[in-house]
Structure 1
Amino acid sequence: MATDVPLVDAAQLLGELRRTFSSGRTKSEKWRSQQLRALLKMVTEQEKEICKALTLDLGKSEYETYACELAMLLDSCKLAIKRLKKWMSPEKRPIAVATIPSTAIVHPEPLGIALVVSAWNFPILLALDPLVGAVAAGCAVVIKPSEIAPATSAFLAKFIPMYMDKEAICVVEGGVQQITALLDQKWDKIFFTGSAKVGRIMMAAAAKHLTPVTLELGGKCPIYIDSTVDVKVAAKRIICGKWTCSDGQACLSPNHLLVEECFVPKLISTLKTTMVEFYGEDPRTSKDLAHIVNKNHFKRLTALLDDPATAEKIIHGGERDEKSLYIAPTLLLDVPLDAPIMNEEIFGPLLPIITVKGPDEAIDIISKEPKPLAIYVFTDNKAVQEKMVSETSSGGMVINDAVVHFLCPHLPFGGVGESGIGAYHGKASFDAFSHQKSILYRGFTIEVYARYPPYTTHKQKVIRALLGRDFLGLLLALLGFRRQE
């Protein structure tokens, strides 16, 4: 088990990694490309082992493992390999008039030694997708997988050193003591995926050393849906977004529905029918639903279901079995907004449905909560779509679907406020682990005499004209004339 490993000597580990980084080898395009190809090879060759680990940890099917973790990871590797040279190349920028003649560039350089702390719900993707960005940027990396997914943690600890440069990339297993020891050290970058509660701990630790952080946190992702949509398609997409992703145990999973009043009966009927179509009359026999990760989370979710404000609101599902960590996909109707289930991120297979009069009431409810990681808007009304875009704030938004924006490598993915700091995916992953160093090159051929003391009235006129881009005034000042006003 991941929690049984000896406590790491964090100072020694960082010292070894810093020696590797200081040697300069991680900065070369050759090394970065080799490591990305090695990661790609590991994921491809060890797919069966990965599936086995995710089944043990979360009961994930092979379909979900590939569709929701491996496919995206493979795409990230391939994109980084393809674009690496371009991402690494200095980018030319316009110069200021006052610096003519000169050349301005932005040169990306690796931040240094990065700590990637990943979550248990997508334990392969959330450990290795940030690794793609860190390696592409030229960083040395420590991955700290979640001890709540011990089989996956053990897989990473075993196979990453077999495929990748173990002097620059390593895995540290373990629980709270282990991460505490790591956070006592000075890192050049911390990338954390998890809850806002733990995110605050990460940020406090980083603040001691002014270490930059990327925090990918949770958020009570709402869906707004009105009567203009194709109800059958919408129901399928909602169910897929909620229950295909680790049975609702995902930061992007829809947390609750805000449904236009006149549409509620039709939507509920279609959701029920579609859920039976997807998972059968008895969902516990379905191989397409993950189980709750452990007993603590099971008890937390059943407590939400059994709360007096919630228990009488169940309209579908609600069955549970602690031995198999099973909770049925569950719908609840018009739970009070002050009920416990509506005041925390559910992170499970429970979906409250709240009746609203229209988009204004939905926006009012959303705006009273911390900014979510995503908002999902189901409507064919363009005006409503634009209203939701302009009058709400969230890490991301999807119109007429849920979760799928995570699949787009060219869309930066991240939260805002309580749902996170910073973003990654594609070029944004490279940028997350890079410092954009500005460089100005100058020669000795032209001198602006007016920049040097003693500062006369004439020199002041020249500088004002030069910095103000008043080229006629500059010419007149240089010729010794005064412009006629």
Structure 2
Amino acid sequence: MANVHQLLERQQAWFRTGESRSYAFRLTQLKKLKQAVAEREAAILAALRADLNKSEHEAYTLEIGPFYTEINFAIKHLRAWMKPKRVRTPMTHLGSRSTIMPEPLGSVLIISPWNYPFNLTLTPLIGAIAAGNTAILKPSELSPAISGVLESLAAESFQPEYITVVQGGAETSRELVGLPFDHIFYTGGTAVGKLVMAAAAPNLTPVTLELGGKSPCIVHHDASIALAARRIAFGKFLNSGQTCVAPDYLLVHRSVKGALLEAIGQAVTSFYGEEPLKHPDYGRIASRRHYERLKSFLQDGKAVIGGGSDDESLRIAPTILEDVAWSSPVMQEEIFGPILPVFTYEDPQEAIALVNARPRPLALYVFSQNEAVQRQFTSSISFGGGCINDTMLHLGSPYLPFGGVGQSGIGSYHGEYSFRTFSHMKSVLKQTTAFDFPFRYPSFKNGIKIIRMLMKP
């Protein structure tokens, strides 16, 4: 394992040279990163297949393609993001000009998870580069093939004083988060997120925590059932459900439950055949420990779709569970697998109360044709982000901030929000020397009358 303390010190020293601050440098590095990925597409696809059995369709659609969208967006808008922005000045500051100047934070740490190990490592890096920082990347040890590709990509494209990859297990992560970085960006589970935040606190290191939670999917009686079923199955069972914004449980209007479950079953068959566990492109669970945890959840209800598993390949079939208790283990934590409990409701207020009785989720999905019902759900429930009549797609837009709220996360990124996450917005007021208002000084007689007039309630 590299001496991470010395590595950080080298990055901090190189950052102080100021080389990473110019527009030309940042633009060049973004283009270099894009080219490095393009040249390694085959290796990236092979590594994602090796780690998670991701098909080319799934890997490109959800990992490589969104990376290109993000980096192209950053290249296009970088100059505008970097430009100091003039803002208005109050009457009390007559004669002055106010400016907000983005500046890089310094040296940042990006810790990424195993479920989307390529995208969730390099998409935050786009923001760090665009903002002018140095970066240490710590990919997951549970996705060793793609971690190796990322390490070689960084080593062959950037000097270690600027960007580098550090591999290792939990001990390496603990050592890294205790160092005095200027920002830590962590994607993963809530329990580890709390540890990251605690470790960062002694250094007052700011953190972005992209976590998870139990994201509800609400299907009202007026939804387009066949379409909702396909989109729910898409969002839930891609990557074997190992997606932070996958629907975690279904809340279905009682009158359409049967029709929806039948349609989801048809969608699963159309995606993965009659025997998903034997489908060559159906993903596997990342680790034996995670597989056994998910397998135990199958006992928490009755499988009306799926329910099978394969101990050798670490696969669990796309599964819908009914007769699940809200107090059961499967409902006490984020599932993060291809198991979807289903509950029913009679009216929107009942569904809203059920969701709001639990920690605020990372995502919310609402299927309804009625705009008033859509507004009722989205305005009455606090959540990180979500979709109406779809799942997951909000995650792929560089125009929308992505992040959680409460226990589902702190901070956001994507597009300009990534640039802002890795920047300090520095305030500068430039005052005129052509004149000076004497009433501001304590020696001016009756100055308080003028001040009260200018700053009256």
TM-score, normalization: structure 2?
0.98
1:425-479, Cα deviation, whole Å (9 max, x unpaired): 00000000000000001121111111113243x322122223349xxxxxxxxxx
Q: 5 Å matches for 1:80-479?
A: 80-244=74-238, 246-306=239-299, 309-310=300-301, 313-456=302-445, 458-468=446-456
Distance in 2 between residues matched to 1:112 and 1:367, nearest whole Å:
39
Aligned residue identity for 1:336: A
Equivalent residues of 1:224, 1:376 under 8 A apart: yes
Indicate the residue corresponding to 1:483 in structure 2. none
Instruction: Give the secondary-structure state (helix, strand or coil) at the position aligned to 2:33.
Output: helix
Instruction: Give the secondary-structure state (helix, strand or coil) at the position aligned to 1:208.
Output: helix
Equivalent residues of 2:277, 2:310 under 8 A apart: no
Equivalent residues of 1:220, 1:345 under 8 A apart: yes
1:179-234, Cα deviation, whole Å (9 max, x unpaired): 12212210100000000000001111111111111100011111000221111111
Instruction: Give the secondary-structure state (helix, strand or coil) at the position aligned to 1:214.
Output: strand
Distance in 2 between residues matched to 1:241 and 1:257, nearest whole Å:
12
The correspondence for 1:49, drawn from 24, 43, 48, is: 43
Structure 1 residues 250-259 or 329-338, which shifts more?
Answer: 329-338
Per-residue deviation at 1:165?
3.6
Indicate the residue corresponding to 1:69 in structure 2. 63
Instruction: Give the secondary-structure state (helix, strand or coil) at the position aligned to 2:402.
Output: coil
Q: 1:289–1:358: structure 2 CA closer, same or farther, 3 Å change rule? A: farther
Equivalent residues of 2:216, 2:249 under 8 A apart: yes
Per-residue deviation at 1:356?
1.4
Instruction: Give the secondary-structure state (helix, strand or coil) at the position aligned to 2:208.
Output: strand
Structure 1 residues 355-364 or 397-406, which shifts more?
Answer: 355-364
1:92-127, Cα deviation, whole Å (9 max, x unpaired): 000121221111000000011100000100000000
Equivalent residues of 1:229, 1:380 under 8 A apart: yes
TM-score, normalization: structure 1?
0.93
Distance in 2 between residues matched to 1:398 and 1:133, nearest whole Å:
24
Q: Name the % identity.
A: 42
1:224-257, Cα deviation, whole Å (9 max, x unpaired): 002211111111100001112x110010001010
Distance in 2 between residues matched to 1:65 and 1:71, nearest whole Å:
8
Per-residue deviation at 1:294?
1.1
Aligned residue identity for 1:156: L
Rg larger for: 1
Per-residue deviation at 1:365?
1.0
Distance in 2 between residues matched to 1:305 and 1:261, nearest whole Å:
23
Equivalent residues of 1:97, 1:467 under 8 A apart: no
Unaligned runs of at least 5 residues, structure 2: none
Distance in 1 between residues matched to 2:268 and 2:5, nearest whole Å:
52
Distance in 1 between residues matched to 2:79 and 2:43, nearest whole Å:
32
The correspondence for 1:21, drawn from 12, 15, 21, is: 15
Distance in 1 between residues matched to 2:205 and 2:308, nearest whole Å:
46
Aligned residue identity for 1:339: S
Distance in 1 between residues matched to 2:165 and 2:57, nearest whole Å:
27
Distance in 1 between residues matched to 2:5 and 2:270, nearest whole Å:
55
Aligned length: 457
Instruction: Give the secondary-structure state (helix, strand or coil) at the position aligned to 2:136.
Output: strand
Per-residue deviation at 1:265?
0.9
Equivalent residues of 1:35, 1:165 under 8 A apart: no
1:262-319, Cα deviation, whole Å (9 max, x unpaired): 111111111112211221111122233211111111100111113xx42xx1112111
Equivalent residues of 1:334, 1:355 under 8 A apart: no
Structure 1 residues 157-166 or 394-403, which shifts more?
Answer: 157-166
Per-residue deviation at 1:167?
2.2
Indicate the residue corresponding to 1:36 in structure 2. 30
